[in-house]
Chain A
């Protein structure tokens, strides 16, 4: 199941979709919207009212299908599901779910971790944080600000720019 949806994600359905009689292990990763997030411009965590997710749907689905194929070639996983939400998502609601099944647990954990890490680099989906205190901003992480294996080998210059890629826009301009 590879899906982009504006509706709330049914986690039971995502998990059920990877059940397979040859598999004894299913891993379900769920990414939820944080209410409180550390912010480079503020000493204290900032409070999120909601997120807006935007996607380039045709390419995102294409990339997600490719991730499924790659995961199946790297590990003996049988079934893969990736569902991402778009539009408005409230704190504590799931924005993404990744489920993997395999005969044994270690490859299911490994594949699920690789899938979500790679999705967060290669699938064209963006979030706009709407803050309780004021305003909204699109989040465009510089490639140096994460610790995943893909980016720890990134060029040194990308590590310098952490705060500047955030593009601040007024909420009034972006309803």
Chain B
């Protein structure tokens, strides 16, 4: 399938590891969140521990590992939160 570029917003410790507020990951169309996570780990090996503990969000809502990504979607990587 054709590749697509997915922008991933990064926060807190994840932003510190990737060196900025977002990264672009190239994936096949209809890739799942689980594949996005592994692609990000391949791109940033230091992110592995945090990426595997993180939840993921699309359109301001958490999505599951099986969520299918489409072109132009923006995904947010939500590492374990520490507000409050």
Contacts and interface: CB of A to CB of B under 8 A. Distances in A.
Given A54-B12, A59-B57, A143-B53, A95 B84 contact: yes
Nearest to B79: A140
Contact of A120 (B17, B61, B83): B83
Contact of A96 (B14, B16, B61, B83): B83
B82 A140 contact: yes
Interface stretch (A13-21, A69-77, A102-110, A121-129): A121-129
Q: Is the interface of A mostly helix, strand, loop or mixed?
A: mixed
The size bracket of the interface on B is 20 to 34
B45 interface: no
Given A120-B84, A125-B82, A126-B82, A140 B16 contact: no
A127 B81 CA distance: 8
A58 B76 CA distance: 11
Contact of B12 (A62, A84, A140, A143): A140
B84 A96 contact: yes
B84 A142 contact: no
Contacts of A84: 83-84
Nearest to A57: B60
Contacts of A132: none
B84 A116 contact: yes
A165 interface: yes
Given A54-B11, A59-B57, A126 B84 contact: no
21 contacts: A56-B11, A59-B61, A62-B61, A96-B83, A96-B84, A119-B83, A120-B83, A124-B11, A124-B76, A125-B83, A126-B11, A126-B13, A126-B79, A138-B16, A140-B81, A142-B53, A158-B53, A165-B80, A167-B14, A167-B16, A173-B16
Given A125-B83, A137-B13, A140-B82, 20 more contacts: A56-B57, A56-B78, A62-B61, A120-B81, A120-B82, A120-B83, A122-B81, A123-B81, A125-B82, A126-B12, A128-B12, A138-B82, A141-B80, A142-B53, A158-B53, A165-B53, A167-B13, A167-B14, A173-B16, A174-B16
